């Protein structure tokens, strides 16, 4: 049998989503096909140091006290699976490092990763490149200026006039609903934005929509063979919205796969997911999230996640399983897509002639 492909699973990271990354990496390690692949582990501490350890060691222990890794190339991976969520992992920075190191990796490249992490840049790009995709009305805020009374007052007045309440305040460059708040009263808007500014200087405020949380999994290179799952739905108790605790702590959300939608609407949402995937230049995988307005029936594009959760309760692998791509096969396809993209990029000329 040919040598197994060596897959370096990167996890942890300098991010508020550090713990979620460990859960995702554990699931990937448990599911990867050991007949095809030889997994390697590398945990990134919150201080930025990289450490490795044996496969049977708890991932948190590797992060805390594993053997130092001065250069990922020393582990001799064929492909890197950066199971990293949030800044310094999903935002293009890790992808740029892997490009410089000359390593193949799973997922989108530098630009698409950065674009999809930044909710403001993503909205601007989609509005320009795919104007047929509806977006919830929104405003961008400079969190660095919220201490300026004139700026803060003017910004709050403009947001209330344009969006009203309820509205949602979000750090522009985080995931897993970290730092996201629902604002139900005008007086709560400025404090919510100030709290969001602790996580990111760029803040996005969106109109509150009475909506169903609809998600689609996309797999491929953006070409004709790219597939989108049927839409799934995050089903929540009445009056509950999809914040961090709902996702990872309280376990009150359930997944409906497929979502109960008219067939034509389901097909439209899946097609819009692929359109958004292509417009933003994604590669490999993305979970594309929509807000389905209960009143108007409009499916608003909410955001794209280029490295969605891979935990045992995560929507992306569950949607792909419903589409006929099981967990081990999903990891295999993602690794192959990463290797193929790397090989294609190596064919590009770096000479003038």
Q: Which residues are catalytic?
A: 17, 176, 248, 287, 289, 303, 305, 309
Sign of the CA dihedral running 318, 321, 323, 329: positive
Alpha-carbon gap, residue 332 to 231, rounded angstroms: 23
* 267 phi and psi angles, rounded to 5 deg: -65, -40
The edge-to-edge listing of strands for the beta sheet with 79-82 is 67-68, 50-52, 37-44, 5-12, 79-82
Closest CA to 138 of 86, 208, 200: 208
Pairing of strands 232-235, 254-256: antiparallel
Distances (CA, A) of 220 to 12, 122, 310: 25, 20, 17
3-state helix, strand, coil in the chain (%, to 5): 35, 25, 40
What residues have CB less than 8 Å from 74, skipping those under 6 apart? none
Concatenated DSSP letters of 19-30? HHHHHHHHHHHH
Q: Which residue intervals of 184-305 are DSSP H helices?
A: 189-196, 244-248, 263-279
* Dihedral sign computed on CA atoms, order 141, 147, 148, 150: positive
The position carrying tokens 């008219």 is: 262
Interatomic CA distance for residues 351 and 240, integer angstroms: 56
Q: What is the C-alpha to C-alpha distance for residues 83 and 21, in angstroms, rounded to an integer?
A: 6
């Amino acid at each position: 049998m040919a040598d197994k492909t060596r897959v370096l699973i990167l996890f942890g990271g300098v991010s508020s989503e550090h713990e979620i990354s460990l859960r995702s990496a554990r699931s990937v390690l448990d599911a990867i096909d050991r007949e095809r692949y030889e997994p390697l582990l590398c945990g990134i501490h919150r201080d930025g140091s990289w450490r490795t350890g044996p496969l049977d060691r708890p991932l948190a222990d590797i992060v805390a006290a594993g053997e130092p890794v001065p250069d990922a190339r020393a582990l001799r991976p064929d492909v890197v699976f950066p199971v990293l969520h949030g800044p310094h992992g999903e935002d293009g920075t890790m992808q740029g490092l892997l490009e410089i190191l000359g390593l193949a990796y799973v997922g989108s490249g530098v630009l698409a990763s950065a674009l999809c992490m930044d909710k403001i840049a993503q909205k601007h790009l989609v509005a320009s490149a795919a104007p047929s995709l509806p977006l919830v009305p929104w405003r961008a805020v400079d969190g660095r200026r919220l201490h300026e009374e004139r700026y803060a007052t003017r910004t709050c007045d403009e947001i209330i006039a344009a969006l009203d309440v309820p509205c949602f305040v979000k750090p522009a460059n985080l995931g897993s609903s970290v730092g996201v708040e629902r604002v139900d009263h005008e007086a709560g808007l400025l404090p919510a934005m100030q709290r969001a500014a602790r996580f990111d200087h760029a803040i996005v405020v969106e109109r509150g929509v009475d909506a169903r949380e609809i998600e689609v999994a996309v797999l491929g290179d953006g070409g004709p063979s790219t597939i989108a799952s049927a839409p799934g739905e995050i089903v929540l108790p009445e009056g509950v919205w999809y914040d961090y605790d709902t996702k990872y702590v309280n376990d009150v959300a359930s997944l409906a796969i497929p979502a109960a939608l008219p067939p034509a609407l389901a097909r439209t949402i899946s097609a819009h997911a692929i359109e958004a995937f292509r417009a933003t230049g994604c590669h490999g995988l993305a979970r594309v999230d929509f807000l389905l307005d209960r009143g108007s029936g409009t499916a608003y594009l909410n955001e794209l996640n280029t490295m969605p959760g891979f935990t045992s309760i995560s929507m992306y692998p569950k949607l792909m399983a419903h589409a006929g791509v099981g967990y081990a096969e999903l990891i295999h396809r993602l690794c192959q897509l990463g290797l193929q993209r790397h090989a294609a990029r190596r064919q590009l000329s770096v000479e003038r002639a």
